[in-house]
Amino acid sequence: MKPAIQMKEVTVDFPGPDGQPFRALEGISLDVAEREFVCLVGPSGCGKSTLLNVVAGFERPTHGKVIVEGDLVKGPDPRRIFVFQESAVFPWMTVLQNVALAAKDPSKLQDHISMVGLEGFEQAYPHQLSGGMRQRAEIARALAAEPDVIYMDEPFSALDYFTKLRLRRDLLRIWQEKEMTILFVTHDVEEAMQLADRIVVMGRAPGRILEVVEVPLERPRNIDAPIYLETRDHLLDVLGLS
Amino acid sequence: MTLLLVAMTKAFLLPVLVFVWIATISVLHGFMNLGWTARGSSDGASLVQIGFLPVTCHLTCPVTDFIRRETRGSGLFQPIKFNSWPELKEAFLARKTQATFLLAPMAIALREQGVPIKIVYLGHRDGTAVVVHRESSIRNFSDLRGKTIAVPNRFSNQRLLIFRALRDAGVPISEVNLVEMPPPDMPAALSVKAVDAICSGEPFMGQAELDGYGRVLALTKDMWPGFISCVLAVHEDLIQEQRPLVQEMVDGIAASGLWIDKSADNREQAADFVAKNYYHQNPRLLAYVLSKPADRVTYSSLNLVRENFREIEELGKLSGILSGKASFDDYTDTSFNPKPDSIKAPDFVYDK
Amino acid sequence: MTSDGAVLSPRLNTKLGGLRWASTARPVVALILFGVAWEAGIRWSGTTLLPSPYAVAAAIVELIQQGVLAKYIVASLFRTTWGFGLALLVGLPLGLFLGWFRPAAEALNPVIQILRPISPIAWIPLAILWFGITDAAPIFLIFLASVFPITVSTSAAVHGIPRIYLRAAQNFGVSGWRLWTRVIFPACLPQIITSLRIALGVAWLVVVAAEMIAVNSGLGYLIIDARNAGKRYDLVVAGMLMIGFIGLILDTLIRRLEHLPMVQWGLQNR
C-alpha cells in the first residue's frame, strides 16, 4: 500500500547565534502508512515539532522533501490539518463559527461538535471554555475540514491529568471511526504508549531518528501486560542513551 | 428563523447606528449653524469677504455692514470674524478673504515680501493707549526704564508707538523688556502685575481701566496725533476685477465713519449693535472706549496720506520689521480716497 | 458578599441593584466635593477674575437663553464626527496594509513618524490654504490628530497577531478577502478598539485648536471668542466644563464597544 506520508532525507538548518548554521534535523527518512497512528517522541530540542511543521508545510526543509499522498509538500493544505499545542481556535468566534469556518460540509457541523463532546457549547467563546474544552473545539474544527491526515503537536501537554486521559480516549475513538492518518508529537512516553501504532524515538544534537518501535497491541492498552511494560522500558532505554 | 433575524439585526446594529448618527449630526449642523434655509445660503455666496477682528480698530466694518443691511436689506460685503491676527492674515494670503482690515506695518511687510496687496483706506485714527497698574509709580515714559511692557503682534503699530515714545523720552530700547502677548490676555497680566505696562488696541485697554486696576499712562491721540494703526487692504486682483465694488466699500466705510463720529448718541448705538451682533462683547465696555474721552478713537479723515506712512516706514526699519523695499506708491492705492465733502453720513437710527 | 463587590462577576453586578448604585454614587460625591472646594477657593482667594461655580452655571444658562448652546455643541460634534470618521476610513485600512506588507511599512513609516509629532495647531496655516475658512479646515485638523494613533496602533496590531492563528487560517485554506475579514481584522479588533478610545479622546481634545480658524460656532470657538470678549472667564470655564463633560460621554459611549462579544477575549482581565 502506498504510504500516506513519506519523509525523504529531511534536513533543517537554522541560523545559529554565532552565525554558524545550527542543524535542527539531520536526514530524517520515515514513511507513515494510511490510517496509521504514529507518535514522535523525544526530549525537548530534538526537533520533533520542527519536523511536524515541515511535514505540515509551515516550514521548508533545507534539504530533502516530504511527499503526502503523492503530492510534494510546498505549503499547508486543508486536507492535512494541524492541531496546535496552545489552542488555535479563533477567540473572536464561537465554537460553532470556528467549526463552520473550516467545514467542508456545512450540514454536518453538529456532528463534529458532538463527536468531541461539546454539545451545548456551540455559542460559547473560547475564553469562556476550559483548556480541555478548547482543545476539543480545536479537534472539532480539524474534523470539520474532513482531512485525510491530522498532525498533532503535543495537543494535550498543557492539560491536567484527568482531562488528558479523557481526551486520549476520545481521540482514539474518533481516529478509529474516521479512519485518518495521525502523526502525533509528544514528550510523554506513557502517552505514546497509549496511543501509537508505531513510536519514532528521536534524539537531539542534531535531531535524528534513533529508533522506530512497533507497538502491535490492542487498544485500550493494558498497562499491566508484560509486553506493554517491556516496550515501554525499551523506549525509556533508547531515550536514556540519547 | 427568529434567531437568524436577531443575529442579523445585531450584526447590522452598529453600522446602522453609526450611519444614523452621522446623518443626524450633519443635518442638525446644517440647519443650526450653516443656515440651510432659502434665505441664508444665497446671501454669502456672491459677496466679497472681508476679514476683521473684534477690536475697536475695525469698528467701521461691522457698522457699515449693519447699517447697510438694516437700511437696504442686504449687505455690501460678507464680514468674516477672525479671532487672531495669524489666521486673519493667512486667510487673506490664501485668497479666502479678498479684502481685510490689517495692521499697517503688516500690510507693508507683506508687500515687501511680494504679496500683491494694496492698502486702499484707513480703518481709524488713534484708539490705542498705554496703561499701567493704578498702584505703580510710573508717571511718564522715562519711568519705564527697566520695566516690562506687553505689546501685541510684532507688526503692530503699538510696538512702533512704544519705540517712538521711548526714543522721544531718551530711553534706549535695550533698557526696556518688550514682550509679545495676545491682547485679550493683557488686562489679566496687568492686574496680577506680571507686566508693568500694556499697550494694545481697544477695548482691552479700556477694560483694564473699567475694572479699576488700570491707569492710562498716555493716549495715542496725545502721543502721536493722527496715529494710524489698522487699514483696509485688498488684493490687487480685486481692484482690477471689481473696481466699482472697492470704491463702494471705501465710500461705505467713510460714510459709517462719519456716522459714528457724528454724535455721542450714535456712538452708543454703535457700541450696542456691534457688541451684541458681531463682537460678542459687553456693550458697556465698547461704549466706554468709544466715549471716554470722546476722541479716544476717531473714524473720520481716513484718507490715505503719505506723511502718516513715512513715519511708520521709518519706525519699522528702526525696530527691524521692515526692510524699506516697498514704497508708499507700491503698497497703497490712493485713487479710492473719496473727494472731501462727497461723502455723507447715512440717516440711520438704531432701535434697541 | 464582599464590601465593594469587586470579586463578583459582571453579570452578578447588574442583578444586585444596591451594588450598582454605590458605584454610581462615588463619582457623584467626588464631583460635589470638588465643586465645594472650587467655591471655597474662589471665596478665600478673593479673586475678581476667576469664576465661581455659580458664575459658570449662570454663564451656561445665559448661553441657553441666547439659543447658542445647542448650536455650539452640535457644531463641535459635527466636526469631530467627520474628522474622526475620516480618520477611521483612512487609518484603519492604511494600518492594516502597513502591518501586513513589510516593504510598504518600511517605505512609509519614516513619513508617518515625521508627521505624527506635528501639533495640529502647526497645521493651521496649511489648513487655511487648502481648505479655506469653512468647516473643512477644522475637520482636517481633527482628522490629522486622530489618524496617526489609529494607523500606528492598527499596524502594530496586525504585526502582533500570534503566528498560530495565521498558520491555522492558512491550513484551512482561508485566503484573500476571507482572510482579512474573518481572521486578520477580528484578531486586531481589541487593540484597534483601545486605540479608537484614545484617538477619539485626541480628536475631541483638538476641537479647541481646530476651531481657532474663523468658524463661528462650536465649544472651542466659544472659549476663543470669550477671550476676545474681554473679561468673560465665566464663559471660558463654562466652555471648558462642557467640553470635559461631553468628552466623558464620548468616552463612555465608545467603551460600550468593548462589550461586543467578539472582542471580549482581548479586553478582559483574566
**DSSP letters along A18-52, please?**
TSSEEEEEEEEEEEE-TT-EEEEE--TTSSHHHHH
Contact A203, A210 (CB under 8 A): yes
pLDDT tens readout for residues B332-341: 888 888 887 7
C133/B53 touch (CB, cutoff 8 Å), yes or no: no
Interface test with C, best of A60, A73, A80, A92 (most C CBs within 10 A): A92
Which C positions 79-98 lie with beta carbon below 8 A of chain B? Answer: 81-82, 85
pLDDT tens readout for residues A149-173: 999 999 998 888 998 898 999 999 9
Buried b (16+ CB within 10 A) or exposed e, C157-191: bbeebeebbbbbbbbbebeeeebeebbbbbbbbbb
Instruction: Choose the closest CB to B25 out of C49, C78, C213.
Output: C78
Contact B153, B85 (CB under 8 A): yes
Strand-pair partners of A209: A202
- Residues of chain C in contact with residue B33, where contact means CB-CB under 8 angstroms, are 71, 74-75, 78, 216-217
* Closest approach of C27 to chain B, Cα-based (Å): 28
> How far is Cα B184 from Cα B207, in angstroms, rounded to an integer?
10
Instruction: Choose the closest CB to C172 out of A84, A102, A125.
Output: A102
Query: Between C9 and A25, where is the model more confident?
Result: A25
In degrees and rounded to multiples of 5, residue B324 shows phi and psi of: 90, 10
pLDDT tens readout for residues B79-94: 999 888 888 998 999 8
* Closest approach of C182 to chain B, Cα-based (Å): 14
At least 3 CB pairs under 8 A between chains C and B:
yes
B184/C75 touch (CB, cutoff 8 Å), yes or no: no
Interface test with A, best of C11, C171, C177 (most A CBs within 10 A): C171
C266/A101 touch (CB, cutoff 8 Å), yes or no: no
Identify the segments of chain C with pLDDT beneath 50: 1-8, 12-13, 270
- For residue C22, which amino acid is it? A
B316 touches chain C (CB under 8 A): no
> How far is Cα A117 from Cα A55, in angstroms, rounded to an integer?
29
Mean pLDDT of all residues in A219-227: 86
Contacts of A among chains (3+ CB pairs under 8 A) = C
> How far is Cα B260 from Cα B258, in angstroms, rounded to an integer?
5
Angle at A216 between CA A211 and CA A221, to 5 degrees: 110
Contact C130, C141 (CB under 8 A): no
B90/C129 touch (CB, cutoff 8 Å), yes or no: yes
Q: What pLDDT is recorded for position A78?
A: 92
Q: What pLDDT is recorded for position B20?
A: 92
Mean pLDDT of all residues in A220-240: 88
Instruction: Choose the closest CB to B87 out of C85, C128, C260.
Output: C128
Contact B206, B130 (CB under 8 A): no
Query: What is the SS3 assignment for A13?
Result: strand
Q: Whose CA is closest to B54, among B286, B235, B298?
A: B286
Instruction: Choose the closest CB to C81 out of B22, B93, B279.
Output: B22
Nearest CA in chain B to C83: B22
DSSP B230-259: EEEEEEHHHHHH-HHHHHHHHHHHHHHHHH
Q: What pLDDT is recorded for position B1?
A: 62
Q: What pLDDT is recorded for position A115?
A: 86
> How far is Cα B125 from Cα B129, in angstroms, rounded to an integer?
12
C171/A56 touch (CB, cutoff 8 Å), yes or no: yes
> How far is Cα B115 from Cα B234, in angstroms, rounded to an integer?
11
> How far is Cα B230 from Cα B104, in angstroms, rounded to an integer?
5
* Closest approach of C160 to chain A, Cα-based (Å): 15
3-state helix, strand, coil in chain A (%, to 5): 35, 25, 40
Q: What pLDDT is recorded for position A109?
A: 87
Distances (CA, A) of C79 to A45, B20, B30, C135, C238: 58, 16, 12, 7, 20
- Residues of chain C in contact with residue A93, where contact means CB-CB under 8 angstroms, are 182, 186, 262
Which C positions 216-255 lie with beta carbon below 8 A of chain B? Answer: 216-217, 221, 224-231
C173/A92 touch (CB, cutoff 8 Å), yes or no: no
- What number is the ipTM of this complex? 0.89
Tell me how many residue pairs between chain A and chain C have CB atoms under 8 A apart: 56
The H-or-E segment that residue A164 falls in is helix A161-178
- Residues of chain C in contact with residue B87, where contact means CB-CB under 8 angstroms, are 124, 128, 133, 212-214
Contact B102, B88 (CB under 8 A): yes
Q: What pLDDT is recorded for position A242?
A: 46
* Closest approach of C172 to chain A, Cα-based (Å): 5
* Closest approach of B277 to chain C, Cα-based (Å): 12
- For residue B180, which amino acid is it? E
> How far is Cα B144 from Cα B141, in angstroms, rounded to an integer?
5
Interface test with C, best of B87, B95, B192, B289 (most C CBs within 10 A): B87
Strand-pair partners of B179: B150
A22 touches chain C (CB under 8 A): no
B285 touches chain C (CB under 8 A): yes
B32/C71 touch (CB, cutoff 8 Å), yes or no: yes
Q: What pLDDT is recorded for position B224?
A: 84
**What share of chain B in percent tops pLDDT 70?**
93
B351: exposed, middle or buried (Cβ count in 10 Å: 0-12, 13-18, 19+) = exposed
Nearest CA in chain A to C165: A88
Q: What pLDDT is recorded for position C4?
A: 44
Nearest CA in chain B to C214: B82
Q: What pLDDT is recorded for position C270?
A: 41
Q: Whose CA is closest to C159, among C238, C104, C240?
A: C104
* Closest approach of C22 to chain A, Cα-based (Å): 28
Mean pLDDT of all residues in B180-197: 89
B33/C217 touch (CB, cutoff 8 Å), yes or no: yes
Q: Is the pLDDT of residue B314 over 70?
A: yes
A78/C265 touch (CB, cutoff 8 Å), yes or no: no
pLDDT-based confidence at residue B37 (cuts at 50, 70, 90): low
Q: Whose CA is closest to A158, among A127, A135, A183, A191?
A: A135
A127/C263 touch (CB, cutoff 8 Å), yes or no: no
- Residues of chain C in contact with residue B83, where contact means CB-CB under 8 angstroms, are 212, 214, 221, 224-225, 227-228
pLDDT tens readout for residues B264-313: 888 889 888 898 888 888 888 888 888 888 778 888 888 888 888 888 99
Instruction: Choose the closest CB to C261 out of A78, A125, A145.
Output: A125
A91/C266 touch (CB, cutoff 8 Å), yes or no: yes
Which C positions 131-190 lie with beta carbon below 8 A of chain B? Answer: 132-133, 135
Q: Whose CA is closest to A10, among A85, A68, A80?
A: A68
Outline where DSSP puts E strands in chain A: 5-15, 21-32, 37-41, 63-68, 71-72, 80-83, 149-153, 181-186, 198-203, 208-214
DSSP label at residue B332: B
C165/A88 touch (CB, cutoff 8 Å), yes or no: yes
Provide the sign of the torsion angle of the four alpha carbons B8, B10, B15, B20, taken in this order. positive
Global pTM reads 0.83
Our measurement of the distance from residue C114's CA atom to the centroid of its chain's CA atoms, rounded to an integer in Å, reads: 23
* Closest approach of C4 to chain B, Cα-based (Å): 33
DSSP label at residue A154: S
A84 touches chain C (CB under 8 A): yes
What is the maximum alpha-carbon separation in chain B? 94
Interface test with C, best of B55, B90, B200 (most C CBs within 10 A): B90
> How far is Cα A144 from Cα A138, in angstroms, rounded to an integer?
10
A175 touches chain C (CB under 8 A): no
Q: What pLDDT is recorded for position B9?
A: 67
A28-37, B52-61, C210-219: the lowest-pLDDT one: C210-219
Contacts of C among chains (3+ CB pairs under 8 A) = A, B
A77 touches chain C (CB under 8 A): yes
A120 touches chain C (CB under 8 A): no
> How far is Cα B101 from Cα C21, in angstroms, rounded to an integer?
58
pLDDT-based confidence at residue A90 (cuts at 50, 70, 90): very high
Interface test with C, best of B78, B96, B274 (most C CBs within 10 A): B96
Q: What pLDDT is recorded for position A179?
A: 85
Instruction: Choose the closest CB to B29 out of C75, C132, C221.
Output: C75
Mean pLDDT of all residues in A68-94: 91
